[in-house]
Amino acid sequence: MEEAEKKACEDLETERARSRSLSDDVDRLREALREKEDTILQSGMLIEDLRVEKTELVRSHKRIERANTDLVGQNIALEEKISCELSSSLRLLSFCGICFYRLIPYFDLRRA
């Protein structure tokens, strides 16, 4: 009987050691799972932050496009104004030139 008790004690100790080892494995796995869940949570928060930043960038881009469109319109208006003023100036110069050449015969340049 003593032999059977000794064997039973050894088996019991082996099972306790195995149980402790399994418990340690479970604790390690729980910790790894918790770390992965934290990483997933942080990734989710980063994704949300990136979505917000993307939305802000899209809004900013649209504002820039509107401002650019406004500037193009202003540029076209200025080009048209300059073109009209240049055209008017050229007509005036042309008119003055015509008048000058028509008046030349009335001036005696030899007296000057």
32-87: pLDDT as tens digits:
999 999 999 999 999 999 999 999 999 999 999 999 999 999 998 888 887 777 77
Domain count along the chain: 1
CB neighbours of residue 22 within 10 Å: 10
Digit-coded pLDDT (tens) for 12-36: 999 999 999 999 999 999 999 999 9
Helices in the chain by DSSP H: which ranges?
A: 2-103
State whether residue 111 is helix, strand or coil: coil
Domain annotation covers residue 46: yes
Closest C-alpha among 60, 37, 31, 58 to residue 45: 37
In whole angstroms, give the CA distance from residue 79 to residue 85. Answer: 10
- Domain residues for 28? 2-87
Domain annotation covers residue 100: no
